[in-house]
Amino acid sequence: MNNIQLFKKRQGSVALVLGLALALLGGCGGGGGSGGQTHALTGAAVKTIETPSSPTPAQTQALLKKGAQLNTAELARAAEAAANDGGSSNAAAKAGTKAATSLVTVYRFYNSQTTAHFYTASETEKATILATLPQFSLDGAAFYASNAVATGLSPVHRFFNTQTGVHFYTISEDEKTLVQASLPQFHYDGVAYYASKVAGSQLSPLFRFYYGSKGFHFYSNSATERDTIINTLPQYQFEGTGYFVMTANWGKSTLKLPHTGITNQQCFQVSSSALVACGSAGATALNPDQDGHRTAVNPMSYSEVAKVGGGVYARTECVRDDITGLIWEGKAASGLRAGGNTYTNYDDVTQRQRHGGAGVGYVNPTTVEINEASNSVGYMNYVNSVALCGLTNWRIPSADELMGIIDYGTNFPAITVNMAWYPNTSRASYWTSSGFSASSYEAWAPYFGAGSTSNRYPRDLSYPVRLVSGRRF
């Protein structure tokens, strides 16, 4: 029986149930009694808090509703920050190095005494509950989370409600502060696990409901279950997304690189530098897996960027790489964004990047020099200030990213990019954010005139810049 079927069955026998869901390291405690509640995690008695200062049920509901609004607002701020950060706040992208050791399964239990659900990522707690708390039945694995701090992830806080015997979970620091300040019956248990405040690849939204008359929340990462509850169980108030939990592939790279552009007529053969058809015996004998044999693997593909409200941006404004998802700056024929404009490439006031003249050598650039309109960073700041294509997270690409749009199947003297998609491209080297490790005054600049990628130049020379927007390689 799946979770949704189990949910429906319980709805018929008791007043409450829910399906697949989110969770935390806590418990949905035992049934209520005048003497207090048993904490599901520790088994210890937790005294029910009922003092003159405790809020009434109506006040509690109002405060929890306010908390839900705080959570929604905090997620919105996090999403806006991630958008302006070029996608670098994406938890899956930034926390991948910890994935192998920190990804854990979150289990869901159903408490027949409270008719609520309990979630835990602790194998020890799971075993203890199964062995000692017969009112809890294991529904199975609900989703995945992280049991360790990682860049891009935030702690999910767990509270135990001593009046209802259930647990409450939130990723919002503002909501946590509100609960601790205004709801003394909520005992803070600590951090349950770690999840994300922003959407991203290998993440799924955890939906949040509140059952006011029962005084507990329900969490589910199933869109089907969410819709079933919304359409059939009006007693559950939908509060939106609580946060974002992991999928089984969290942390595993999903980045795709575009093909080089080499055609199936451009393979090498044994004892010759002449290019031949890749299906020829000579090409296959040399290597049956040359680039020309792999033309169907991530072939270069581009598309226009859609405008909000309809239509698309001109290719002289921006272009989307359909393989990497990056959005590249287009170049105009003239003006401040003309393809022929050139810039210096200073980007760090702590590094010797600018030549100070004869007898002086290289010196550190000043902040003013870095932000000059004639420097790459100053140009980037200008493009962000005008929100080209509605974006304000334009940045200077890395060498690896810029090499991704070089078409190595193009024959000299043609410019080695798809000029139909990248009009007004200059036959020149283009600056990147990738510095040369052996000398701070040099940076890599792939050459679009012949597809050369081994070029590095002093940063005080002037070359074109093509900006990019999106998740970094």
- Cβ burial of 97 (10 Å; 0-12, 13-18, 19+) is exposed
- Which tokens belong to 307? 């405008």
- CA angle centred on 362, ends 359 and 363, rounded to 5°: 110
pLDDT at 22: 30
Task: Locate the DSSP E strands across 115-254.
Answer: 116-120, 136-146, 154-161, 166-170, 186-195, 203-211, 216-220, 236-246
Q: Comparing C-alpha atoms, which of 319, 343, 320 is closest to residue 331?
A: 319
The domain locations on the chain are 3-246, 262-299, 300-473
Q: Comparing C-alpha atoms, which of 99, 101, 149, 147 is closest to residue 124?
A: 147
pLDDT at 91: 45
pLDDT at 210: 97
The CA distance from 465 to 344, in Å, is: 9
pLDDT along the chain (473 residues), means of 10: 48 35 33 43 48 80 96 93 59 46 87 93 92 94 90 93 94 98 96 92 92 93 94 96 89 75 92 92 93 90 90 95 93 96 95 89 94 97 95 93 91 88 95 92 91 86 95 71
Task: Locate the DSSP E strands across 315-465.
Answer: 318-321, 327-329, 354-355, 362-363, 442-444, 456-458
pLDDT at 152: 86
Q: Comparing C-alpha atoms, which of 72, 21, 8, 69 is closest to residue 233?
A: 8
**Could you tell me the pTM of the whole model?**
0.52
pLDDT at 13: 39
Q: Comparing C-alpha atoms, which of 1, 451, 26 is closest to residue 216?
A: 26
pLDDT at 39: 55
